[in-house]
Amino acid sequence: MKRTIIFLLLAALTTFVFIGCGGEEAAKSEGTTESEQAAEVDATSQPTQMTATNATNLQEALGPKGSWIIIFEDDLTVGEEITISGEVYEEEGAEAPRRKLALYAQDSDRNVTARYTLTVPRLIVDHVNTRIQSGEVAGNVYVNAEGFELVNGATINGNLYFASEAIRDSATIDDSSTVMGEVRLGPITDAVSRPTQMTVTNAENLQEAVGADGSWIVIFEDDLKVDQGIMVFGAAYEDEEAESPRRKLALYSQDSDRNVTARYTLSLPQLVVHHMNTRIQSGIIDGDVYVEERGFELTGGGTIKGDLYFADEELRESATISDDSEVTGEIGIGSLD
């Protein structure tokens, strides 16, 4: 009889404890909102790295739900503005958020074996501690957050703008890295004022016209002689809908039927082409030309009175020289350095 009573008491106590615990878990579950549960899932499922292959997944990778490191495996060209945003941490216990654009490949000893180029109208950096490493961003970069880094031989083929003096002071550009344009203070509103065409009359406005804030088409109305080398650089797009940047040196005049009525000569020590899809059309470059970007064109009866050098064989293969155009000197592989 005593054993039966003890057994019944234990069973009742076990049932009470089970119900009590279940009720507590239910209370906890009821106290967690759907948005909190979703946030917990998002926090644990954020990828540590993502590979960028097109404009859509690049923006996803650099957005608030993207990865701390973004891997590039080739050059990438996008026709729209890209923004690095959010607050992304390398790992759970990290003290501060950070982002890294890994524009390179490396071997097992971490030696860089290839460098890649991201070509974009504008890259907006709204994320603290963003690093661009080893490769190239072709386009203007606007930094609105502290801790920006350009390191390990990285290049900005354009201008670099900082939203404030404090943000500029917090940035790091190491000695191995380069900004081909200007480094200055300025808001993103500067970017919308880019002209579609510019007419050149002297060395100063020629370099401005073919620089980071210049126009996609550069108009000549007469021969022009300059004493210094000129570099075509940046990422100029013909219009907002263009998928890729392009540049055109229009060394000619034409009538209403687009027949060439005059050809002009640009004389200079050397012309360095560090802009994608640059076309020299109908006129004459009197000097050596060095091509450092893909898609170069010499068309419309254009002439280079000098040598034409490509930085590598791949760039030479990507170039077009029309049958009616001419290079009077050597066509080969080489660089200005």
pLDDT tens figures, 144-183: 999 999 999 999 999 999 999 999 999 999 999 999 999 9
pLDDT of residue 5: 40
pLDDT for position 45: 57
pLDDT at 316: 97
What pLDDT sits at residue 47? 82
**Residues 231-271 pLDDT 10s:** 999 999 998 889 999 999 999 999 999 899 999 999 999 99
CA distance 60 to 51: 10
Contact 88, 99 (CB under 8 A): yes
Of 160, 310, 336, whose CA–CA distance to 234 is shortest?
160
User: What are residue 224's phi and psi, to 5 degrees?
Assistant: -140, 130
- Model confidence at 336, pLDDT cuts 50, 70, 90, reads confident
Question: What pLDDT sits at residue 193?
Answer: 60
Residue % of the chain over a pLDDT of 90: 77
315 pLDDT exceeds 50?
yes
| Residue type for position 187 | P
pLDDT at 157: 97
Predicted confidence at residue 282, as pLDDT, reads: 96
Rounded to a whole number of angstroms, the CA Rg of the chain reads 29
Predicted pLDDT at 241: 85
3 state DSSP class of 254: strand
CA separation for the pair 298, 284 (Å, rounded): 10
Q: Smallest Cα–Cα separation from 218: which of 265, 280, 270?
A: 280
The DSSP secondary structure of 85-153, one letter per residue, reads -S---SSTT-SS--EEEE-EEE-TT--EEEE-EEEEEEEEE-SSSEEEESSEEEEEEEE-SS--EEESS
For residue range 43-89, list pLDDT tens digits in order.
Answer: 445 788 999 999 889 999 999 999 999 999 999 999 999 999 999 99
Where residue 210 falls among pLDDT bands split at 50, 70, 90?
very high
